[in-house]
Amino acid sequence: MYKYHIEGGYDMKLFCVHYAGGSATAFQFLSKILPAELEVISIELPGRGKRNASKLILNFEDACMDLVTIIKKRVDKEEKFSLLGHSMGSLLSYEIAHLLQKEKYSLSHIFLTGTKLPYQFENKSLIEVSKRNEEVIDRITKLGGTPSELLEHPYFLKMYLPVIKADFHLIGSYKYKRKRKLDIPITIINGKNDPLANNDLGKWLQLTSNKVEVLTVDGGHFFLNEQKEFLSKSICLNLKREVSICK
């Protein structure tokens, strides 16, 4: 887990959950552009980053519980906080929100980026895909965001491909279960050229009894680095009641 420290007090914590193959560093840029009152805490699954020595997780429910444990160590039930997840991280954030709401934690907002509806992630075939290097690389290439020369580099194949394959397996193990609606505001932000995105407001409204906002920006699936300012403004606008400097 990375904590990007800014001097001064904090009004709220923002826990960030990375995409498949990513790590806590995926959201490092946010600490530099978000107000000091918002503490950016980027968390990561085992087998990468500072948790590189730990065994990779292949089961979705186990991954959720792993991250929930980390979050619960950092917040009290009465303490307001928010979640941000991209792609696989958005699905993890959605399911984590259900677990934390059930335990009556004070989750204020969920930001889901590079995402589709939770039940659209259900795809058992990804477990078989995760066993074939060429197919995994082909899918990564089609999503964009990763230079082709990097995908062919021996270091990438040795160090990063196993992590991506494990995450594909993890997503493939996901089984959507109908449950009580969330009572938490949700903001969806997707790239206009993202082939995986779902921006159907009506469908998203079925998942929470609170408000939903669906936004689109220029870019593809990995638009984060191109839309840093837009993302930070969206976070501030939605958290302005809790984070004083955002007002």
Q: Write out the two tokens for 114.
A: 């590079």
Percent of the chain with pLDDT over 70: 93
Instruction: Say if residues 88 and 57 touch (Cβ distance below 8 Å).
Output: no
Task: List the beta strands (DSSP E) in the chain.
Answer: 2-3, 12-17, 38-43, 81-86, 107-113, 186-191, 212-217
Average pLDDT of the segment spanning 46-71: 97
pLDDT digits (tens, 9 = 90+) for 138-152: 998 888 767 777 777
| pLDDT band, residue 3 (cuts 50/70/90) | very low
- 29 to 16, 73, 209, 245: CA distances (angstroms): 12, 24, 32, 19
Q: What is the mean pLDDT of the chain?
A: 91
pLDDT digits (tens, 9 = 90+) for 8-26: 456 899 999 999 999 999 9
